[in-house]
Amino acid sequence: MPVRTAVITAAGVGTRFLPISKSVPKEMLPLVDRPVLQYAVEQAAEAGIERVVLVTSRGKTAMEDYFDVAPELERTLRERGNAKLEPVEQAGRMTRIIAVRQPEPLGLGHAVLMAKEAVGNEPFIIYLPDEILLGEPSVTRQMLDAYERRGNAIGVVEVPWDDVSRYGVVEGEPLSDRETRLTRSVEKPPRDEAPSNLAIVGPYVFSPAIFGCLEEITTGAIGELQLTDAIALLAQREPVHAYRFEGERFDAGTPLGLMQTAVEIALRRPDYADEMRAWIKELAARL
Ligand code: G1P
């Protein structure tokens, strides 16, 4: 069965971005002139995903507005022959957004469970919107192919051992250079208890069996319902594999990471690259 639904979890309070996240959803912070959230939505749409279930929470409707058509703005831009018409039209027509709410911040696992009804009984892909993953073919394409080959697939990257306690980490047997058959996954293990330095960053592609697992798990690391614990349970019922995708990974989930990611993206944008590179050189000379 083809994967036609994406779930994007964007319900978090954004504590690391306070105070701006008091009134601006952290997923709407800019990477150049696009919100962080657009990178996942665009990749899903390009890979043929038909609809995006956005898990949101109170005060975050700016995300839905962004992906909606804006007829008056488009009319004004068209009348003025403004070049921004194209990206504005594109954002409003990228995909169909179905917003569901997570009423309380009970964890990533709980957030995904909020999408159960909207997804229905079919496979789907989950994105963590802070994770900006750039690849050719796209990381989404690589993960969908990985799912077709071997079933449930989760995107992982190698991280320095000192960082493992910030992530969900996988344990398993290597199937190939990039694939690991998962036997266990553990959320935020202390460094000396981590089974590997393969950190889960998504995207995740799951059969709907993950929902049953999410309903069974109990509170895990940091007092939250953890998706990583549901994956460990799923691995006892169906094959799950971790896939070390090809590409670059940027973490836009902290203020410093967001700034670094913005610079990296500007350097890849033809309309900004030259000026950005010249400025960075000039800046480096001043430091
Ligand atoms: C979440 C997940 C974790 C994953 C991480 C990647 O943690 O729970 O498994 O490795 O995202 O960014 P958070 O960053 O929300 O603490």
pLDDT 10s per residue in the chain (287 long)? 899 999 999 999 999 999 999 999 999 999 999 999 999 999 999 999 999 999 999 999 999 999 999 999 999 999 999 999 999 999 999 999 999 999 999 999 999 999 999 999 999 999 999 999 999 999 999 999 999 999 999 999 999 999 999 999 999 999 999 999 999 999 999 999 999 999 999 999 999 999 999 999 999 998 999 999 999 999 999 999 999 999 999 999 999 999 999 999 999 999 999 999 999 999 999 99
Ligand 1 pocket, residue 39 CB under 6 Å: no
Ligand 1 nearest-atom number relative to CA 200: 10
Ligand 1 pocket, residue 179 CB under 6 Å: no
Structure tokens at 189: 């293990």
CA–CA dist 48, 32 (Å, integer): 25
CA–CA dist 173, 186 (Å, integer): 15
pLDDT of residue 1: 84
pLDDT of residue 72: 97
CA–CA dist 198, 171 (Å, integer): 8
CA–CA dist 162, 169 (Å, integer): 13
What's the start-to-end Cα distance of the chain, in Å? 55
- CA 188–ligand 1 middle distance (angstroms): 8
- CA 15–ligand 1 middle distance (angstroms): 14
**pTM: predicted TM-score of the whole model, two decimal places:** 0.96
The secondary structure element, H or E, covering residue 101 is strand 96-101
Ligand 1 pocket, residue 146 CB under 6 Å: no
CA–CA dist 170, 152 (Å, integer): 14
What's the gap between Cα 151 and its chain centre?
Answer: 20
Q: Which residue has the tokens 């007829």?
A: 71
Ligand 1 pocket, residue 164 CB under 6 Å: no
> Which residue blocks in the chain are alpha helix, DSSP H?
36-46, 62-66, 71-79, 85-93, 108-113, 116-119, 139-150, 209-216, 227-234, 255-268, 273-286
pLDDT of residue 84: 97
Kindly give, in sequence order, each residue whose CB lies less than 8 Å from that of residue 210, ignoring residues fewer than 6 positions away. Answer: 112, 152, 230, 231, 234
The one-letter amino acid at 32: V
Ligand 1 nearest-atom number relative to CA 222: 16
Structure tokens at 284: 């480096």
Ligand 1 nearest-atom number relative to CA 12: 15
Q: 207 — phi, psi (to 5°)? A: -75, 160
CA–CA dist 153, 125 (Å, integer): 9
Count Cβ neighbours within 10 Å for each residue of 173-211 and write b for 16 or more, e otherwise. Answer: eebeeebbbbeebbbbbeeeebebbbbbbbbbbbbebbb
Ligand 1, pocket-test mutation among 27, 133, 200, most atoms within 8 A of CB: 200
- CA 227–ligand 1 middle distance (angstroms): 9
pLDDT of residue 83: 96
pLDDT of residue 183: 97
The one-letter amino acid at 150: R
CA–CA dist 151, 144 (Å, integer): 9
